[in-house]
């Protein structure tokens, strides 16, 4: 059976171990009513800064998962682990090579019951993750949908993550991708700077990921929790009545 610890998440905050967050802000984030905290970052993530952030988040009841992209940062104690692959990378190691090498070495240590594969579709060429993985982010909507279908239909990935990190994405494309998905759970992240954009994304993705704005405008970040829940509720009401 696949792990499904993430299946009810509508809203998550993503915290970067390589960025500073004060105790008060962290408490506000963890007690905000978000469904989970996702720990991860594209650069500067180490075992030590991951342990430190996890132990601070662990003071609160909110579920906490980790995007594990470097086996050297395999910190135990999270509620779940996502192992990312980049669908549209030009370099095979970011799709499968690093994963195979890590499993060869550490596979016997991995808590498989709480590990989920996460297929990233990186669509902002300026994002750090796009540069790091040499993702071919300037692709047409039809190509993006095709990548999503490979992940969903051919590979049966549990999670498809449409990643626009740093900029707000094409909501029409996100909706199209969602409509083509057969089984994958859809994460959306990128450029959500307040309730309006959070609500738009919530109408199209299963889980909305809010990152950078936490560090820039905490009040706006916190307002996204209610916006997502409200949008999901209104959508359900419409579907029920229709
Ligand atoms: C980053 O998708 C997340 O991996 C969130 O993006 O930082 O732009 O909110 P932002």
pLDDT of residue 241: 86
For the CA atoms of 151, 169, 6, 154, the dihedral, rounded to the nearest 10 degrees, stands at -10
Mutate-to-test residue for ligand 1 from 118, 122, 159, 163, highest number of ligand atoms within 8 A of CB:
163
Question: What is the model's pTM?
Answer: 0.97
> Tokens representing 24?
């008060």
pLDDT of residue 242: 78
Q: For residue range 15-71, what is the model confidence (pLDDT) as tens digits?
A: 999 999 999 999 999 999 999 999 999 899 999 999 999 999 999 999 999 999 888
Would you say 7 is a known binding-site residue? no
Question: For residue 242, how far is its CA from the centre of ligand 1 (angstroms)?
Answer: 33
Question: For residue 240, how far is its CA from the centre of ligand 1 (angstroms)?
Answer: 32
Q: Which residue has the higher pLDDT, 69 or 152?
A: 152
Q: CB of 209 within 8 A of CB of 189? A: yes
Superfamily of domain 11-241: FMN-linked oxidoreductases (3.20.20.390)
For the CA atoms of 66, 68, 73, 76, the dihedral, rounded to the nearest 10 degrees, stands at 50
Going by pLDDT thresholds of 50, 70 and 90, the confidence category of residue 156 is very high
Q: Rounded to whole angstroms, how far apart are CA atoms 86 and 219?
A: 32
For the chain, the structural domain boundaries read: 11-241
Residues with CB under 6 A from ligand 1: 14, 163, 165-166, 189-192, 209-213
Percent residues over pLDDT 70 in the chain: 100
Q: Rounded to whole angstroms, how far apart are CA atoms 166 and 193?
A: 10
Average pLDDT over residues 116-125: 98
């Amino acid at each position: 059976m696949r792990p499904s610890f993430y299946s009810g998440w509508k809203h998550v905050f993503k915290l970067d171990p390589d960025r500073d967050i004060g105790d008060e802000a962290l408490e506000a984030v963890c007690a905000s009513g978000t469904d989970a905290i996702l720990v991860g970052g594209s650069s500067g993530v180490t075992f030590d800064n991951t342990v430190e952030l996890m132990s601070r988040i662990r003071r609160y009841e909110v579920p906490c998962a980790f995007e594990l992209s470097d086996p050297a940062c395999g910190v135990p104690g999270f509620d779940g682990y996502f192992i990312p692959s980049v669908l549209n990378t030009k370099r095979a190691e970011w799709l499968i090579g690093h994963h195979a090498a890590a499993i060869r070495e550490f596979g016997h240590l991995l808590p498989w019951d709480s590990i989920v594969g996460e297929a990233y579709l990186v669509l902002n060429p300026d994002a750090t993750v796009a540069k790091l993985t040499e993702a071919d982010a300037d692709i047409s909507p039809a190509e993006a949908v095709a990548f999503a279908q490979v992940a969903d239909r051919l590979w049966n990935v549990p999670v498809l993550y449409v990643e626009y990190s740093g900029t707000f994405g094409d909501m029409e494309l996100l909706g199209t991708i969602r409509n083509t998905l057969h089984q994958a759970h859809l994460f959306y992240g990128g450029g959500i700077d307040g309730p309006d954009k959070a609500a738009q994304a919530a109408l199209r993705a299963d889980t909305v990921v809010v990152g950078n704005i936490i560090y820039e405008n905490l009040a706006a970040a916190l307002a996204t929790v209610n916006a997502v829940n409200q949008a999901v509720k209104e959508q359900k009401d419409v579907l029920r009545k229709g």
